[in-house]
Structure 1
């Protein structure tokens, strides 16, 4: 990776690290962010954590794996491309010549619009856009810089033998920084499921005020918005699956969590 690949993201990260001194390692910086009182919400804290970790992330960690790639043959007609995009729910498809190990480019939904506007003339090959080729071991920060420089939003990820290991898009990389961007809230993430024993299964992203309303109780205020933030703050860290935390007369059992956040919790009266 040459020096041209150092992007605005790397520069911003360097400034952030300098500002957060005395933390020097990634773990120290993450700990400072988790404890910083000036950070007003879980959303802000999560984004800062993702930006710190982004620099160390490899392409294989964010790519769509080979088994989940939706691709189209270069010999396909545009009607088949349209059907494939609709069935897969995607706005671009890698185009392969022969098999998935020979991806020659990509076709975008806007290319279908152009094809219709031109009287539905021309072959798929005439509309294929260039893809980048990247090793699964490359850092995502370098790939983001290359995508920006080359104005290419999709890359084929190759394994050590040169075969196709996966696919990564600009959207995948940006999601690693800002998180999922959703137009509507999914009920499973912002509501609760009541169990036969009276306990509630809630998502970590559920708002504290919504949980308090559901339980007809008062929960402590703090520099957090979500149930995950409430539990993490009182635990002083991110609890592991199976751990229990008692808060304000309630028992919080961690059902799902990862290295960054709590995903699902069972809430019941503390005994």
Structure 2
């Protein structure tokens, strides 16, 4: 009889462990991974996905089993094994009261320890290591258990929802994945070696495109080479020869609105054919892009356009700059080197802990670097624009301002444009 009693208790503990493992595996499984297993026709994946989509009923089912096993295990151990040990202690010479107390206490302590190790900790560790694999294996048994205990599960599920409603939780939990969670997963994947070096930065760059307006990635107007059809042919050719770019923006008298682009190669073909160029016939139409458009949407426009260069105009129709597919790529992977040397970094952390930040750095990237917040609606796209907004004027070299726990000092100006800024963190009060 002793071995039978021990066997019953052991079976109850193992069943409790299986239920605990099933509970954590189903709850921890990601629906996207389960959906992928369903697509691969893995046995039990569809049932696991069904259980994960309605955790309330599933948790009620598991909790019923765990509670019943816990009650049965406690009562059985005290009523049988505890009293049996107490009788042995009485025969060994202890008094009846002391023997019962010691006997029941020892049995409860041993069973509690076994329940924690075998019935809780180890099964849950197994479930956490590969929740989806465990979930697809236990799902058929959990579905069967849910059908058997359906009436009681329905009662518990309804009771739980009523209590949640009374406590003020009347809206369904938001299961959407946030950008911060995606960044955390990407960082974990890089640490685990799933992502190659540099892929994390590229993924972060792609995610930033949705937060950047086209004004943050475009080449501004004062840096754009152009020609004007109202100029003399000699002046147009001189502008083409002075430019280092293969494509130039074209104006037709009005310097506020661009009409297209001209490719220097097309002009060279005309001269090689010993013909006189007709500049107006060489102009190619380019897409007009609003300045407020997201950089992510520009990708689609440039991909479908015959010329992979967009002419950026503001809401008044005034030309502001150009954006190319190379600008979008640089926003993702960083600036490319030029003939003058390596590309200038947007921000550099010095040995003294200060950041030397370029004014052209996108405000979103600077905010992420310094861990500061930006308003959702803002009239600027660069870090220089952020500082101009804070100063309320064009600052001079050496001027500083404190904001968001940082001290920003103007280190260099390029004319009236903020070129370099020193950022130092303020000591906490």
Determine if contact 1:134/1:156 at 8 Å carries over to the other structure. yes
Rg larger for: 2
8 A contact 1:71–1:100 mirrored in 2: no
Residues 83, 34 of structure 1: alpha-carbon distance in 2 compared, 3 angstrom cutoff: farther
Q: Looking at secondary structure, tell me which structure has more helix per residue.
A: 2
Are 2:49 and 1:49 equivalent residues in the alignment?
no
1:105 Cα deviation after fit: 0.9
Q: 1:260 to 1:78 in 2, by over 3 A?
A: farther
Cross-structure match for 2:319: 164
Which one of 22, 32, 36 corresponds to residue 185 of structure 2?
Answer: 32
TM-score computed with the length of structure 2 as normaliser:
0.38
Residue 344 (structure 2) pairs with residue 180 (structure 1): no
**Contact 2:335/2:343 (<8 A) preserved:** no
Q: CA deviation at 1:116?
A: 1.6
**C-alpha contact 1:77 1:124 (8 A) present in aligned 2:** no
For residues 86 and 264 of structure 1, do their structure 2 counterparts lie closer, same or farther at Cα, with a shift above 3 Å needed? farther
Distance 1:126 1:185 in 2: 34
1:100 CA drift (Å): 2.3
The 5 Å alignment of 1:145-156 reads 145-156=300-311
Deviation at 1:185, TM superposition (A): 8.8
Richer in strand (by share): 1
User: What SS class does the counterpart of residue 166 from structure 1 fall into?
Assistant: strand
Per-residue CA distance 1:78-135 (angstroms, 9 max, x = gap): 6544532443422211110113222111111211222223213231001011111111
User: Higher relative contact order by CA 8 Å / sep ≥ 6: 1 or 2?
Assistant: 1
Which of the numbers 263, 267, 271 marks the counterpart of 1:108? 263
Would you say how many aligned residue pairs link Structure 1 and Structure 2? 191
Which of 250, 271, 278 is matched with 1:123 structurally?
Answer: 278
Structure 1: stretches of 5+ with no match in the other structure: 1-14, 190-202, 206-227, 229-240, 243-250, 266-271
Tell me the secondary structure at the aligned position of residue 256 of structure 2. Answer: coil
Question: Which stretches in structure 2 are left out of the alignment for 5+ residues?
Answer: 1-31, 37-174, 358-365, 371-419, 423-429
Structure-2 change in CA distance of 1:55 and 1:75 (3 Å): same
Deviations 1:241-268 (A, max 9, x none): 68xxxxxxxx662432535669999xxx
Q: Secondary structure in 2 aligned to 1:100?
A: strand
Q: Cα 1:45–1:252, aligned 2, differ >3 Å: closer, same or farther?
A: farther
